[in-house]
Amino acid sequence: MARLILVCGPTGAGKTTYSMGLCKKIKAVKFSIDPWMQTLFAKDMTSLDFSWMMERVNRCHDQIWEVSEQILSLGGNVVLDLGFTTKSQRDIFVDKALRLGISAELHYLDVLTETRRQRVAKRNIEKDPTVYAFEVTDMMFNFMEPKFEVPEESEVVNGCKIVE
């Protein structure tokens, strides 16, 4: 049976790295939001305007879902590394999966802030193309930090919470 896994966590939690490993393990197709946003909209961004970013993130989500739905309908597995900053974002994809008869799994990466800051700093220096889409500055990290909504326990019933 097809599986849809939503990988969730704040900036620097290791979502992309986790998603890549999970895809190998379960033979899934991975979609990550960072390269989409970088390729399609980075040149147009003039400031850190959350509503501007989220409107474009939602556009990407629509296109990513269109392809994901096809994969899932064929019995394939999909891992979505889309950040899922808010519960409402997560709920949208959970509902879309339910309409396909699939119970989405939420994998929440719970990592200490200082560990995440160190990971981001390392990623910014190394620029490994498998996980690096753009530099995350301290300003960006701090901007996104209060935006992340920690999943409720009921959200991870079908998935898991990974504490590091």
Go through the domains of the chain in sequence order and give each one's CATH number.
4-163 (3.40.50.300)
> In angstroms, how far is the first alpha carbon of the chain from the final one?
30
How many helical (H) and strand (E) elements, i.e. helices and strands, does the chain have? 6, 5
In the three-class reduction of DSSP (H, G, I as helix; E, B as strand; rest coil), residue 161 is classed as strand
Instruction: Give the pLDDT score at 161.
Output: 96
d(CA 39, CA 115): 28
Contact between residue 32 and residue 81 where contact means Cβ atoms under 8 Å apart = yes
Q: 15-46 pLDDT, tens per residue?
A: 999 999 999 999 999 999 888 888 888 788 77
Q: Read off the pTM.
A: 0.87
Please choose, from the candidates 95, 106, 78, the residue with its C-alpha nearest in 3D space to the C-alpha of residue 9.
106
Q: 130-151 pLDDT, tens per residue?
A: 776 667 888 889 888 999 999 9
Q: 47-59 pLDDT, tens per residue?
A: 767 788 788 888 9
The mean pLDDT value of the chain amounts to 91
Instruction: Give the pLDDT score at 133.
Output: 67
